[in-house]
Structure 1
Amino acid sequence: MGNHYKDINTVCNCNKLFNAKTLHPLVSIINLSGKYEEEEIKLNTYSVLIQEHPLLGSGGRKPYDFNAATIFFRSPDKTINIAGEKDCLQSGKLLIFDTDLLCGTTLGKQIKNYTFFKYKPENESLHVSAAELKTIYDCIDNINRELRWGIDKFSSTIISNKIELLLNYCCRFYERQFITRHDAFDETYNTIRNEIDDYMLNGKIHKMGMPCTCCFSRKLNLSSAYINDLIKHESGKDFASYLQIRRIDIAKQMIIENKKSDAYIALALGFGGIANFTKLFMQITGMTTEEYRR
């Protein structure tokens, strides 16, 4: 992505850019075809960009990923690339919806749980099969039919419900992509684990406290949201819980291999006291440190 972009602050202005008709001031579905003068735009809305038949490498697509389309998710005030592939005509759709559309709706309460809006577009996008793309386009068509129905007091609720259905399907397809990428993720997962272990063993946890995903995202070139979701998929635990398990695993090694005392471990691993360490050890292992030593 380049450093220059066009700032688009409303749905209506975005429609003007693409010569699309405004059916609702807070949501729009734009058909993409051809090439555009602007390469990047910055939207003050949520956006779902569907690019059909992406080249290998687009959005991080690998040989083991599906190639019917790549889908990019962007939260408000983030840029999106609308230029398409080099020397190729753009083909696909762009769904945009304003945060005001979600006020008082179930999607408004749940939107933060769709963590893929925080993923990096360069290598964490969703790559779908032809069957998955058809399901997504069916959802898009349902939203479009409601837009053409006209605006009334039910519009926001019904449209947001249809967008929520689309996002839930995308959750399903992302889960499938995590499974498809499992073997490739083994190396990434092990790298994350090693980075966490190094953080704890090199004294950073004692000096700086428990790390967050942002401590590793830049080095791994992954978004914090993606790291958390990858950890959850591979381990079944959220990042915070996974950290505690790794911390206790390291403590076990210190007890058995290095013969370290509870006091030493509590200080070295940043537990803030022996009582905190032994309590968490019991919760996770089901035994006291002395029982484990025996």
Structure 2
Amino acid sequence: MERYKVILVDDEAEVIDMIEKKIHWNDLGFEVAGSATNGVKALELVEKLQPDVVLTDIKMPYMDGLELSRRLNREYPNIYIMLCTGFDEFEYAKEAVHLEIKEYMLKPVNATELSESLTNLKHTLDREREEKLNVKKLNDYFQEVLPKLQSNFFISLIEGRVEKHDYERFLQAYQVDMKGPLFGCVIFHTSENHVPEGMNPLLLSMSVEREIKQRLMDQWNCLEFIYMGNTLLVLELDAEDQITQITDACDRFCRWAYRIMGAVVTAGIGTVCDSLYEISLSYERAREAVSYRVLYGTKRAINIGEIVPKEQIKPVQSEESRMQTLFRAIRIGDSTEIERAAHGEMEKLHKNTETMSQYNLATMEIVSGFFKFCTDNSLDFNKISGNMQNIYEKVSQMDESSLTAWIVQMSETISEKLKCARNSSARRLIVEAQNIVKERYMEADISLDEICAVLGVSNSYFSSLFKKEAGKSFISYLTDYRMDIAAEMILNTDEKSYTIAEKVGYLDANYFSYVFKKKFGVSPSKYRASVK
């Protein structure tokens, strides 16, 4: 059985060392995954290591244990917190109770007492994990799915099979009270190829669905149902920019599902529409977003509006629907899938044509499909096709192998152009973020959340994109930029450290000195003295 991960937080390194050595962690079913000397560093470790338990002191510099506990309760409610302190004061205990902290111990920590607490905590964690994966409870829950009529209605809605004149009547009949003004669709796809040993894929999928209901549905006004093995949410939105907050929440859920349940979940977030009747458009874009997991990875949320330039996201025209498998392969950029889809188009061509006139018409539709796809995605069809003269006539005269090769070549060229457009869009986003840092590094309250709000993207997408493009996290980039400015000011001015700290966005001079020393190895004063 995998051991539960613990992070130790105390401003005294000797205390951390003592606790780590005095407790038989492995025997108790735990492992010390890391340690930190203040709450700020602890939060960084929590994001990176995703621990099950945080054992923290209360009195620490920069961020104390109570503030750390408040942040953990808000951002990582599944983490168990254990507080210890040398200050036996009622106010601390009262705040600990308010934060629903189950363990509150006095320093010096007694090894026997802590071991007993960890033993009890392991029983609790085991029980919670067993409940999530208990086959009997999952089978019972399987019988409690949403009412069949309502599920059938939403399935018909996303498939586009509800007639406009029946729409309002069905809403009333199935008691669907969603007034908008905006709507969106999210698909949660649970991989059947990555299932914990001994677990049935269907039961794992149902377990994921259950957790989605418990952890996400209360945050938004939405309806949930199962379709084609995936969990779907149809959401009611107040504003279009709310979709970025939803993306971040779904991203956190996907990472949690993998860490706790071993489920590989990918969330696809569709576009926003202004009518529930048009939710099928959002569903198609959400399904497309899920398919991008081959490029962007699993165990995360993918917002189609962030990875595909907005001008490329347009409703599918009915005459183009026959080539959607090929177009989806083009967007993803998988050569194997492109070739398979091209052969699929040829099979349909031969299956559905019996005369030469039908064959010629079908080849013209293929050319037209490429032309419309290029136009919708702001690409030059003539340049991509090599400025071929009389293209409709020449394509219709190709033999089977030549036509197949032409379709593959066109598809791969278009796919490469789309990839370049995405990369260009990503680079523009990073440059915009870096320019904001240059203009506003001196503002103490500048944050990742604010940058994402200005750029109109989710934290999860921007963070992964920035790290990929810049080679470091955004916070690290901001910190390094501030420190470089500070170092220059220290060398070229006689201003005090606290003044320089304020000018580069640090209200706490002590914390500024701590960050500066972490980067340059010496304090600001010693840095200035070393070059004089």
TM-score scaled by length of structure 1 = 0.46
Structure exhibiting the larger radius of gyration computed from Cα positions: 2
Structure 1 or 2: larger helix share? Answer: 2
TM-score scaled by length of structure 2 = 0.28
